[in-house]
Chains A and B, each alone.
Chain A
Amino acid sequence: MSTQDKVIAIIAEQAVLEPSDVALDSTLEDLGIDSLGLVESIFAIEEEFDITIPFNANEPEKSEFDISNVAAIIAGIEKLIAEK
């Protein structure tokens, strides 16, 4: 499974959707993932890839980690994996 597929699977599980329903340009809001769902997804992603995502739930928009849509999240994760 590619990084992209793994991330989409985690997000889909959180959103209670099929992976095929999660598009690269979907936002978390589109997918119905709230702030608690977001921190849970980040936890699952950190566990899956053994990375630490620089995300502060107090000010998500100011975090270094871009969560504006699924593609941005995948790109951020790929960068963190590459930097490991």
Chain B
Amino acid sequence: MKRVVITGMGTINALGHTVAETMTSLAEGRCGIGELDFQDVDRLSIRIGGQVHGFEAEGRFNRQQMSLYDRFTQFTLTAAKEAIQQSGLEFHGELSQKSGVVLGTAGGGVSTWDDNYRSVYEAGKNRVHPFVVPKLMNNAAASHVSMEHNLKGPSFTVSTACASSNHAMAQAFQMVRSGMSPVMVTGGSESMLCFGGVKAWEGLRVMSRDACRPFSANRNGMVQGEGAGIFVFEEYEHARARGADIICEVIGFAMSSDAADIVMPSKQGAARAIAGALQDARLNPEDVAYINAHGTGTAANDKTECAAVADVFGPHADNLMMSSTKSMHGHLIGGTGAVELLACIMALRDGIVAPTIGYEEPDPECALDVVPNTAREAKVDVALSNAFAFGGLNAVLALRKV
């Protein structure tokens, strides 16, 4: 089996338009959640979210590209450019033939659906733009990254709701570890912050109207975010041979299915994914210093997640740190694991553990060190990233400092 390292990272989300900006915000415990701003927001009862501001597609993309790129594709291409530039890779010849793109998204081009339904139902138009389908399809972002960067190997999109990015990155990891691909571009994106996207979530009644406060006894639900996180996963010897700057190593993963309920999480399913990732990475529980939690801020997730961590880690659960950065960037649904991986990387590389902000009251059912409100300096050699999706589909990744 090959070793797999990360040699490039890119992002755009409510905390920043680049990795550097995002990590600064994470370290400062800054909240990117605010009042939503889009058409018909006055008809929503949930009016807050981690929206990306100051991102103008005009100027970044030409007219033809604009007609084909939904906002989730625009985010993806922006983050992919940053990641691939950092890696220093250019894809030609055999490298191009074998390298691909595996991305996660839950909704794909949600705002394209929304805009065009509005046009035919509300405005009564009988004609839509010819590119509605290629713009909204879930694989549009992966395909445009492949075209933009000449990636001709295996490329596809994974859709497992809130675990989409972790499933995608686990898949990309497997492809590099097995020797199938020397390089995979991976991560995910989401852009559901439009009237229809938020209205659908309102229906579930799990959304907070004021803030995302994971693990805090007074938490009252999740808050949506948007954006993308993209990484370059590269085979270790390939990276070393070209003198690449290695950011960290991906050392294992596990996936599990609760096979129980379409929305309620299961402690056993989460625990099996966490324990599985430790086993795959050949780790003892004591090796793990930080977990980036799924930590949605809902009653159901946070209790279940803490119980699963306590089960897997035993007494070591009291020594490790587990924070939810969703309190700052919101829940990016299918893109969330990708943006949250940045918090793991910041802990490993910079020794800064991002906090869980908005933490106000301890909850005896979430009695772990959730790094409340303020970032902490700590030596972290191994970090995990949890993602537990609706539908009971779980994916956990393990990373190591290099």
Q: Which of chain B's residues has its CB closest to A40's CB?
A: B130
Residue A83 at the B interface, CB < 8 A? Answer: no
| Cα–Cα, bound, A78→B67 (Å) | 27
The 8 Å CB contact of B127, one of A16, A36, A37, A43, is A43
| In the complex, A29 has a CB within 8 A of chain B | no
A9 to chain B, nearest CB (A): 15
B127 close to A40 (CB less than 8 A): no
Q: Which residues from B are CB-within-8-Å of A42?
A: 130
Please report the total number of B residues contacting A with Cβ < 8 Å. Answer: 7
Shortest CB–CB separation between residue A77 and chain B, in angstroms?
A: 15
A26 CA / B131 CA spacing, docked (Å):
25
Query: Chain B: interface secondary structure?
Result: loop
A52 to chain B, nearest CB (A): 8
Nearest A-chain residue to B67, judged by Cβ: A40
Is there a chain B Cβ closer than 8 Å to A18's Cβ? no
Per-position binary interface string of chain A over residues 35-50, scored 1 when its CB falls under 8 Å from any chain B CB and 0 otherwise? 0110110110011000
| B43, CB-defined interface residue at 8 Å | no
Contacts of B130 in A (CB 8 A): 36, 39-40, 42-43
Q: In the complex the two chains form, is A47's CB within 8 Å of B131's CB?
A: no
A36–B127 CA distance with the chains assembled, in angstroms: 17
Give Cα distance in the complex from A43 to B132, angstroms.
12
Q: In the assembled complex, which residues on chain A have CB atoms less than 8 Å from the CB atom of B129? A: 40, 43
Q: Which residues of A contact B63 (CB under 8 A)?
A: 16
Within 8 A of A (CB), among B110-168: 127, 129-131
Contacts of A47 in B (CB 8 A): 127
Give A46 to B64 CA distance when docked, in angstroms. Answer: 19
The docked-state distance in angstroms from the alpha carbon of A29 to that of B334 is 41
Distance to closest chain B CB from A46 (angstroms):
6
Give the residue name and chain of the B residue nearest to A38 (CB).
B130
A47 to B129, CA, bound (A): 10
Cβ-closest chain A residue relative to B126: A52
B127 contacts A46, C-beta separation under 8 Å:
yes
Task: Provide the residues of chain A in CB contact with B131, threshold 8 Å.
Answer: 36, 40
Interface core residue of A16, A36, A46 (most chain B CB under 10 Å)? A36
Smallest CB-CB A-B distances: 9 pairs: A39-B130, A43-B130, A40-B130, A46-B127, A43-B129, A47-B127, A40-B67, A43-B127, A40-B131
Given A36-B131, A40-B129, A43-B129, 12 other A-B residues pairs in contact with their CB atoms under 8 A = A16-B63, A36-B130, A37-B64, A39-B130, A40-B67, A40-B130, A40-B131, A42-B130, A43-B127, A43-B130, A46-B127, A47-B127
Cross-chain pairs A/B with CB under 8 angstroms, 15 sampled: A16-B63, A36-B130, A36-B131, A37-B64, A39-B130, A40-B67, A40-B129, A40-B130, A40-B131, A42-B130, A43-B127, A43-B129, A43-B130, A46-B127, A47-B127
